Amino acid sequence: MRYVTILLLVFSQGLAAAAVDDAESLVKASVVYNIARFVTWPEKSNEENAADLIICIQNDNHLVTALSDLAAAQARGDTFSLRLVERFGGQNVDCHVAVLSEDDLDQVDLSAMARDAILTISDTAEFVNAGGSIEISRVGRNMGFSINRRIEELSGVLLSSQILQLAQKVI
């Protein structure tokens, strides 16, 4: 009986940790989506669905499930689609937002993505200092984000003043 109790305690702690990770991922996914709603992209020629917000992410990114759940639970008629990509490096990615993991950073050219008017977002530390657009990070018990304003000049992507006011850091 004692072993069963120990197993239950260990198992329940694992479930609690998984629930916290899932909740944090869902909050980060919501931050990605809500930031993207306050961004204006330059008009692209031959863009079929200019009104659709396309968010790209790799299959192995830890936020893919949360973003998938968010896309499935859309309300209010906002158009948002999630595109899973094999890998970001060396391919022309047709999306508005690229959610990058730490592993993706070895494969991508952040400046090239900015020139293609792709807003790059990651929860990797120092992402904005490395040339990324937006970095999501934990601030105490809350989520916050930092913005690299230099990307606006390079990409033509315009961030709303509301988003700029909510950022914890703007470089």
Cα separation, 88 vs 71, in Å, equals 21
Residue 157: is its pLDDT beyond 60?
Answer: yes
**HEC assignment per residue over the chain:** CHHHHHHHHHHHHHHHHHHHHHHHHHHHHHHHHHHHCCEECCCCCCCCCCCCEEEEEECCCCCHHHHHHHHHCCCCCCCEEEEEECCCCCCCCCCCEEEECCHHHHCCCHHHHHHCCCEEEECCCCCHHHCCCEEEEEECCEEEEEECCHHHHHHCCEECHHHHHHCCEEC
Q: Is 60 exceeded by the pLDDT of residue 169?
A: yes
What the block records as the tokens of 115 is 């020139």
Range of the domain at 44: 2-170
- pLDDT exceeds cutoff 50 at 137: yes
**In the prediction, which pLDDT does 2 show?**
39
Mean of pLDDT over the chain: 79
- Assign residue 73 the CATH number of its domain: 3.40.50
Place 79 in a pLDDT band, splitting at 50, 70 and 90: low
pLDDT tens across 80-129, in order? 788 888 888 656 678 899 999 998 888 899 999 999 999 999 999 999 99
Lowest mean pLDDT among 9-18, 19-28, 61-70, 148-157: 9-18
Give yes or no for a contact between 88 and 98, defined as CB atoms under 8 angstroms apart. Answer: yes
The least confident of 14-23, 27-36, 93-102, 120-129 is: 14-23
42 alpha-carbon distance from chain centroid: 20
**pLDDT (mean) for 7-35:** 63
Q: What angle do CA 44, 71, 29 make, to 5 degrees?
A: 90
Distance CA 31, CA 37 (A): 10
Q: Which of 10-24, 91-105, 132-146 has the highest mean predicted lDDT (pLDDT)?
A: 132-146
pLDDT score at 20: 47
Q: What is the pTM of this model?
A: 0.79
Average of pLDDT values for 38-54?
68
> 147: closest CA among 156, 166, 105?
166
- Structural domains of the chain, count: 1
Is 114 or 48 the better-scoring residue by pLDDT?
114
